[in-house]
Amino acid sequence: MALKATIFKAELSVADIDRGVYRDHTLTLARHPSETDERMMVRLLAFALNADERLEFGRGLSAEDEPDLVRRDLTGTLEQWIEVGLPDEREVRKACGRAREVIVYAYGGRASALWWEKAGPVLIRQPQLAVFEVPQEASLALARFAARAMTLSVTVQEAHIFVADGERSVAVELSTMKAPG
């Protein structure tokens, strides 16, 4: 018998001053049984950093060839493909051939550095790819926000990211492993 996904509800308020995006989102996240709270919360962070009315979560870990987040234009063309974690470099290159913009949010401390050491020399040649690293302290702190019902606010100002739940806050300073273009 297959294990079912656990459903999480998030009320997410985004104030991205850098992009001029101010919006509240009511989100439903399905956490695959093999997904950790840390990974789920990095997915939620990725959503906040790229918030758009057409951005949506992919079908999850059980669906190969699917991004964690995707944004399509009105014709269905892939505009943005977003991966979380340490994806296979072949899959990232394939995504670069399918979407106008591909973003990877790597996390995992030393593991993300080792992943980039191996995949970076190949991926660096992809002009539409951007790769950011979420520091391990930040991703672990975000995992502590995970609850079946969450109310979070994300503020982005001058590339400084703050995530808060009303009682606690976490500052997230992304490292750029590869800038787009």
**So where are the chain's domains?**
6-178
Does residue 67 contact residue 104 with C-beta atoms inside 8 Å? no
Residue appearing with tokens 């702190």: 141
Q: Is residue 63 scored above 60 in pLDDT?
A: no
* Tally of CA atoms within 13 A in the half-sphere of 169 that contains its CB: 10
* Tally of CA atoms within 13 A in the half-sphere of 21 that contains its CB: 19
Does residue 55 contact residue 14 with C-beta atoms inside 8 Å? no
Q: What angle do CA 41, 134, 177 make, to 5 degrees?
A: 140
Residue 13, amino acid: S
pTM to 2 decimal places: 0.94
Per-residue confidence at 3, pLDDT binned at 50, 70, 90?
confident
The alpha carbon dihedral of 76, 79, 84, 90 has a sign of positive
CATH number of 6-178: 3.10.640.10
Q: pLDDT, tens digit, for every residue of 76-133?
A: 999 999 999 999 999 999 999 999 999 999 999 999 999 999 999 999 999 999 999 9
Residue 10 CB partners (closer than 8 Å, separation 6+): 25, 26, 27, 28, 29, 44, 149, 150, 151, 152
The alpha carbon dihedral of 46, 47, 50, 54 has a sign of positive
**Distance in angstroms (rounded) separating the CA atoms of residues 31 and 120:** 29
Per-residue confidence at 66, pLDDT binned at 50, 70, 90?
confident
